[in-house]
């Protein structure tokens, strides 16, 4: 499966509770934290909920 890199670029302070909890559920704690997750519909749904707070990049898989 492909992977995506998610970076927190804006603080969730001042946004709704469910958006702050979504940031936590993705494993993002501080500004500019980066996590790598599998690209699946559940993660894409979480990203779409907080798209104004994160930057998403698709990673290429290296075949060995």
Q: What is the CATH number of the domain that holds 33?
A: 3.30.1390.20
| Domain assignment of residue 12, given as a range | 3-59
Residue 64 lies in a domain: no
Inside any domain, residue 51: yes
36 in a structural domain:
yes
Q: Where are the extended beta strands (E) located within the chain? A: 3-8, 34-38, 54-59
The pLDDT of residue 64 is 61
Residue 53 lies in a domain: yes
pLDDT in tens, 40-59: 999 999 999 999 999 999 99
Task: Kindly report, residue by residue over 6-49, the tens digit of the pLDDT.
Answer: 999 999 999 999 999 999 999 999 999 999 999 999 999 999 99
Task: Record the pTM.
Answer: 0.89
Q: If you search the block for the tokens 């992977």, which residue do you land on?
A: 3
Contact (CB, 8 A) for 16 and 52: no
50 occurs within a structural domain: yes
Looking at the 3D structure of the chain, how many domains does it have?
1
């Amino acid at each position: 499966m492909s992977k995506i890199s998610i970076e927190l670029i804006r603080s969730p302070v001042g946004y709704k509770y469910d958006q702050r909890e979504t940031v936590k559920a993705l494993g993002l704690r501080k500004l500019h934290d980066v996590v790598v997750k599998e690209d699946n519909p559940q993660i894409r749904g979480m990203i779409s909920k907080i798209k104004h707070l994160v930057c998403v990049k698709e990673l290429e898989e290296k075949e060995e």
